[in-house]
Chains A and B, each alone.
Chain A
């Protein structure tokens, strides 16, 4: 079974540019999450999709961040325009969530560097 995949693995952009990160969850997982780890600090929740609907977007830092999950399969996270403080590692995770199968499975992350 393929795990959660993320693309690209690394992205280096200049301040003011736009970057789009992609996440493909484990097949059949309705729940998809975005997290990020900035400057070696805690991993912070960004948002949660159930299928194509945003269930919780309380962690989105500001309106420069836009997440979508059209069709309830893969998801994209767009940062526009990127700022220096957006640098960090962006993780995607997915889960089944029925009953006790609540663990989230994480992708390898996208390392974003904003210069």
Chain B
């Protein structure tokens, strides 16, 4: 069975500082990995995905994520956080079949 762990319920960061949201996964076979963001009163927005190829994936709004097979991680990063990045972030994995398995979510609070 596949699973995703987001070890931090909340991440606090000052505006302008680097932001990292952690994600580890467990899956049989090659994983397809995703990050989604949910702003208040909105649905999930797709940020980026890893399927194959370069381990560093760039996505929307200046976010990027690094796939690390040996550590089974897919951490989300942004070099300089904005107050508007405050939201709920979900990591997800798709392996066999098409369904996504999500982590529990990490709330990011960027303070001015």
A91 contacts B43, CB within 8 Å?
yes
The tally of CB-CB contacts under 8 A between chains A and B is 60
Given contact pairs A4-B43, A91-B44, A102 touches B51 in the complex (Cβ within 8 A): yes
Residues of B within 8 A of A103 (CB): 34, 46, 49
Interface residues, chain A, with chain B CB atoms under 8 Å away: 3-4, 6, 31, 33, 35, 41-45, 48, 55-56, 58-59, 91, 93, 95, 97, 100, 102-109
Chain A residue nearest to B103 (CB atoms) is A42
Extra inter-chain contacts (11) besides given A31-B98, A44-B102, CB under 8 Å: A33-B100, A41-B104, A43-B92, A48-B99, A55-B98, A56-B99, A58-B99, A59-B99, A91-B43, A93-B44, A104-B46
Supply 21 A–B pairs (Cβ within 8 Å), ascending by A: A33-B99, A33-B100, A42-B103, A43-B102, A43-B105, A44-B102, A48-B98, A48-B99, A56-B98, A58-B99, A91-B44, A93-B44, A102-B49, A102-B51, A103-B34, A103-B49, A104-B46, A106-B36, A106-B46, A108-B41, A108-B42
Residues of B with C-beta under 8 A to A95? 98
Which B residues are closer than 8 A to A by beta carbons?
32, 34, 36, 41-46, 49, 51, 90, 92, 94, 97-105
Looking at the assembled complex, report how far the CB atom of B31 sits from the nearest CB atom of chain A, in whole angstroms.
12
Q: For residue A93, which residues in chain B have a CB less than 8 angstroms away from its CB?
A: 44
- Are A109 and B43 in touch, CB under 8 angstroms? yes
Cα–Cα distance between A38 and B98 once the two chains are bound (Å):
21
**Bound state CA distance, A97 and B42, in angstroms?**
24
Contacts of A106 in B (CB 8 A): 36, 43-46
Closest to B97 in A: A56
Residues of A within 8 A of B44 (CB): 43, 91, 93, 106
Please, how many angstroms separate the alpha-carbon atoms of A42 and B103 in the complex?
6
Give chain B nearest CB distance to A67 CB in angstroms: 14
